[in-house]
Structure 1
Amino acid sequence: MALRQIVLYDNEILRKKSKEVQIVDEKIRQILDDMAETMYNAGNGAGLAAPQVGLLKRLVVIDMGQGLIKLVNPRIIEQEGEQKVIEGCLSIPNIYGKLIRPAKVTVQALNENGEEISLTGTGDLAKCFCHEIDHLEGVLFTDLVTEYVKR
């Protein structure tokens, strides 16, 4: 595993749409492992998307305290309700804002072995799924903020 550099908000790669991963192989698994190590090393992140480490691939890692989730080509297939949340981002340090996210989302993706999976998250996990998948579309949480807050 290797630590990767987290790109910051002024890097244009964060505004580009990521490409689908065609084959889940050892190289993709290595990238996912590197992303997880980078996220944990950052100390305060719950998720990381590949564009945040300079790669335009549809890869996401998330750990909300219940264990590491690795997603390849994730997409939201269902969402319900809404919740008011406060978000931050490893690529936009020390900036936090209030926004509206779905209260419940179901994500379809491939796991690190290339197997199709479906995961449903509520609350903070739903928020995190949305935040990280937005990164794959070139969308930052600051695009959706209704009010900035101090933390």
Structure 2
Amino acid sequence: MAIRTIVKHPSEVLETVCSPITTFDQNLGILLDDMHETMIEADGVGIAAPQVGTAVRAAIVDFREGQDRIEMLNPELVLYEGSDTDIEGCLSFPGVYGEVERYDRIKIKAQERDGSWYELEAEGYEARAILHEMDHLDGILFTSKITKFITQEELDEMIRAQEEEEEI
């Protein structure tokens, strides 16, 4: 495994509609492992292939809370409902945060690294992270969906307030 360079905005690859994955081989496994290692190193919860300079339909979400990482190859959104607005950031936009509205409950269909298909239901923060990464595969940047930008100071204050509330 290797840590790859995270592509920062502006970059053409970040706004490219990615190609479907048709070959499920060792090279794909290497890409997925490198993406995961890169995401962990950058303290992210998700990463998409274009963020490491490869315009293919591959993305990973991993909250590292005792659950397996979610590898999504050629993902498709099959069901969605509800909506929620919350703060997002992105590894390709260091220091940029904003409020984004997304579906609150989703169901996706995607392929595993061996090419087999699976379905996954998610809600809340997990659904948000999956949708954020799926947007990357269509060249859609979260900044195009921000309804209100949040400064680093505002974000830090919100985190502090939430931590204090959890202590009570």
TM-score under structure 1 length normalisation: 0.97
User: 1:29: which partner in 2?
Assistant: 29
Gaps of 5+ in 2: 156-168
Instruction: Determine if the alignment matches structure 1 residue 53 to structure 2 residue 55.
Output: no
Structure with greater strand share of residues? 1
Q: 1: CA distance between counterparts of 2:100 and 2:2? A: 33
Query: 1:6 offset after TM fit, Å?
Result: 0.3
Q: 2: CA distance between counterparts of 1:61 and 1:99? A: 20
The residue identity in structure 2 corresponding to 1:115 is: S
The residue identity in structure 2 corresponding to 1:59 is: A
Give the alignment of 1:1-151 within 5 angstroms.
1-43=1-43, 45-65=44-64, 66-150=67-151, 151=155
Gaps of 5+ in 1: none
Q: 2: CA distance between counterparts of 1:120 and 1:64? A: 16
Q: 2: CA distance between counterparts of 1:19 and 1:109? A: 14
Aligned residues: 150
What secondary structure does 1:89 align onto?
coil
Larger Rg: 2
Please list the CA deviations of residues 11-68 of structure 1 after superposition, one character each: whole Å capped at 9, or x if unmatched.
111011000001211111110000000000102x110000000000000011023331
Query: 1:130 offset after TM fit, Å?
Result: 0.6
The residue identity in structure 2 corresponding to 1:88 is: G
The residue identity in structure 1 corresponding to 2:112 is: N
